[in-house]
Amino acid sequence: MKLVRYGAPGKEKPGLIDTAGALRDLSSIIKDIDASVLGHDGLARIAAIDPHTLPVVANQPRYGTPIAHVSKMICVGMNYAEHAAETNSPVPELPVIFMKATSAIMGPNDDVIIPQGSVKTDWEVELGVVIGKTARSVTVENALAHVAGYLVVNDLSERAFQFDHGGQWVKGKSCDTFGPLGPWLVTADEISDPQNLRLWLEVNGHRYQNGHTRTMIFNVAKLVSHISRYMTLLPGDVISTGTPSGVGLGQKPPIYLRPGDVIELGIDGLGRQRQHVRAHAVDEHTA
């Protein structure tokens, strides 16, 4: 299934994409797509419904993030050897784990805002893994049984904040609009092998990233198992599994996002995103 949340920010409704590509409203079946649906029998209940009995949503509404109320977003750094090389970083012996603030999460086609004081805002296409079953110290062999589905992530990063402002990476990863998710959550039954997906990203029509999940250093099962050793993974949690080479930092010379740029990215079977980049307004967050 392809599950979506659509509508104005803060007023999204649950929906699904049927086999013909039409958006169907799920409001009569569930209140939202959140932990209560992902963590219990909600997905099975939705799967049992004939989509053609659901109302078609007219026009082309905005898509929000496919999951409501994400409790945490865990990111993996340097999970592709070629990306480690382009950033002059060693290939890790264990997964590099950091957090992205959930306030960064937004819809797949919402505007990306260059943060105030930013000089190095960068892009990163990544495979997102959505947890569907509580995971604590799970084995690699059982890890994928805890996955509800997959989605596209743009793990936007401000490199100066990340590397030059002291402390850990979270400051460069958590700016508002730095976590586009979606357009939809594709349930795990439709993705037979998460290590067999092509992912790509373009800026202003130029393809910078063209990778494949088979080249991950640590695959999805290993990541879920490893992370669950250090923290409990809850239904609705998102793991962003790392990016292949081709980020702005890795260009010679480096290239960073500017107002007016257009980012497009996608993953096989998981859809695509399109974001316009705009400048931070001085009064953006004033009361």
CA contacts within 13 A on the Cβ side of 21: 5
Enumerate helices (H) and strands (E) in the chain, giving the number of each: 7, 18
pLDDT digits (tens, 9 = 90+) for 112-162: 999 999 999 999 999 999 999 999 999 999 999 999 999 999 999 999 999
Cα(265)–Cα(9) distance, rounded to whole angstroms?
Answer: 22
What's the CATH class of domain 73-279?
A: alpha beta
pLDDT of residue 286: 45
Binned at pLDDT 50, 70 and 90, residue 284 comes out as low
Between the alpha carbon of residue 243 and those of residues 80, 157, 231, the distances in Å are: 7, 12, 22
Element (H, E) at 130: strand 125-131
The ranges assigned to domains in the chain are: 2-53, 73-279
- The bridge status of strand 206-212 relative to strand 198-203 is antiparallel
How far is 175 from 273, CA to CA, in rounded Å?
A: 19
CB atoms within 10 A of CB 120: 19
pLDDT score at 243: 96
Is the pTM here over 0.85, yes or no?
yes
**DSSP-assigned beta bridge partners for residue 17:** 2, 23
Confidence of residue 213 (pLDDT cuts 50, 70, 90): very high
